[in-house]
Structures are given as C-alpha cells and as structure tokens.
Amino acid sequence: MSEKLIEVKNLCKYFPVGKKKTLKAVDNVSLYIKKGETLGLVGESGCGKTTCGRTVLKLYEPTSGEVIFNGKDISKLKGKDLLDFKQKAQMIFQDPYSSLDPRMTIGEIIAEGMDVHCNYSAKEKDEKVKELLKSVGLNEDFANRFSHELSGGQRQRIGIARALAVNPEFIVCDEPISALDVSIQAQVVNLLIKLQRERGLTYLFISHDLSMVRHISDRVGVMYLGSLVEITGSKEIFDNPAHPYTKILMSAIPIADPDANEKMTRLKIQGEVPSPINAPSGCKFRTRCPYATDICAQERPELQEIAPEHFVACHHCKDIQA
C-alpha cells in the first residue's frame, strides 16, 4: 500500500461577507491522497472544489483543520521548509488566458520558478526550458513567443510546463480542461497521465467533466456545498454510487448510444442550491433529497465506511443501497 503524501483533516475555509455573515466555502473536509495517485474532486459550481485545492496548497490560509504534506503540517511551515513545500506542490490554473503574464516570453514564464527554487546557470536554465517544452509536446521555438500568439491548448501546455519546472511531487489541476475545445481536452488529459507515469506525480484533479474524471482518477471525491459527501475508488463511485447526490450526479452523464440514452431513467434533483452563507441545518443536501427524514435536519452526517475504502456521509445510505 502506497504511503499518504497529502492528508487533510477537518479542513475549513470561511470568508467573512459583511454584517457578521460567514460564507463556509470549505466545511470540515477530510481526505487523503497516496503517492503517485490521482484523486478526482467533483461537484456543481460553487461547491468549494477550487477553494479546497487552493487551501491545500496554502494559497489560502485555512480557518481551521490540518493539511499534512509528507508528514508535516503546512500551517506551521516557515522559512526554508515553506519554500521547499512551495517547490514540491504546484498548481495548474483553470484559465490559460489569464494565468500567463502577457509581458513575458514563454521562456521567461517557465523559468520564473527556477529563479526562486533552483540554482541553475543561464545555459542550464535555457536547456531546461527547451526540455520542458518538448515534454509537453511543443517546439523549443515557443520559448521566444508571447502568450497572445498561442492557442488555448498551447497556453495550457505552457501552464503545465511551468508547474513542472521546479520538479514538484504534487500538482493541483484546477479544471485544466474546462476552457479548452473538446478536441484538445483529451490531448491535455493524456499528457497529464503520461507525465504522471514518467515523473511519479500525485494529482488532485478538480473538474466538472465526470467522464474525464473517470478516465484520469484512481479515486473520486464528491463535494456538495463545501462538504465531502462521498469518496471511494473511481470504478466503485461510477458503478455503485451510495449518496443520493452522487446517484443524481452520475445519472446525468450522457451515453454515446442515442437509443440507450433515450431508455435510461435519469434521476431529477429538486429545488435550488442553498446559499453557503445560510446552509440548511444537519445534512446540507436534505432540502433537495428525496430520502430526507427528521434526523437529517437534526444531525449532520459524518463520513462512514460502508465498504472497504468507500466513505459516505448520509444517514440513510445503507437503506438506499438495500
């Protein structure tokens, strides 16, 4: 069994939003990621996926809870230890159009991290930039271009090269394909898989695209309104979802066969997503759940193991499964 690279314990990230109100973007999330694996994180817009990823990387300071990286609590890191963590943990951003500085050449963008973390000479740096461009499928001539000269897919490849420049162990991929054409999405995801195999990388892959998450992930976590409602192996969560929200989410995946698509019974979700500023008591999904009872309003469900490595936060998941 691989050892855990990242362990998140009861992580919370709250934002004050005027007049003594608090937005609970990430609320009591616990998960782990083993070395060399990919954990997919899915859920509808505004459920806290990106905030969770950024807090794990210390781009946001957590309100409470712990993030353990390689056995060390990142909230207590200072000086050289903090610099080492920032080298080992990198991010690929969602928007390839706004995440690259338009005033810098591609070579300067990729080499920027090396100036901070690596003691390379100018010649070594140039060689490293050329090597990284080649590893993401681009010609070394791109080093002298500017980001406005590139397509969306090429820019996202530059974002990947920039993340790889400092030899990280862990990368948060924050919806890296959502701003790209469908024809380019598979290329970028296959590139991420190839780089993971070659370099032994560990990914937190955040996405809306359930089919792509199934393709790349070893395990999948489902978030709803800032909380983790289910987490298990990729095949298990798509074949046997246990939480009512996960069941509805999985039934929304389109099937390529039109006849099968027509015959398929799709589960429908009730109502609108509640505000994270004023979330329902107990189970946050209870206002939209067809199985909700009184206990759902009174007690918040904790993640419980219903099968090996299959955790669900639902009072009635065993009844639903039966």
CATH code for the part of the protein at 4-281+310-321: 3.40.50.300
pLDDT score, position 185: 86
Beta pairing class for 89-92 and 170-174: parallel
Rounded distance between C-alpha atoms, residue 127 and residue 116, angstroms: 17
The full set of domain ranges for the chain reads: 4-281+310-321
Residues 94, 178 contacting (CB under 8 angstroms): yes
Percent of the chain with pLDDT over 70: 96
Q: What are 63-88's pLDDT values in tens digits?
A: 999 999 999 999 888 988 999 999 99
Give CA torsion, residues 85, 88, 92, 98, to 10 deg: 50
Residues 4, 14 contacting (CB under 8 angstroms): no
pLDDT score, position 261: 65
pLDDT at residue 148 is higher than 60: yes
Beta bridge partners of 31: 8
pLDDT score, position 269: 78
**Nearest of 62, 31, 44, 322 to residue 209 by alpha carbon:** 44
pLDDT at residue 53 is higher than 90: yes
The pLDDT mean for the chain works out to 90
Q: Quick one: pLDDT band at residue 18, thresholds 50, 70, 90?
A: confident
Stronger pLDDT, 271 or 219, i.e. the higher one: 219
DSSP structural state of residue 105: B
Q: What are 249-302's pLDDT values in tens digits?
A: 888 777 777 776 676 677 777 778 888 888 889 999 999 888 888 999 999 999
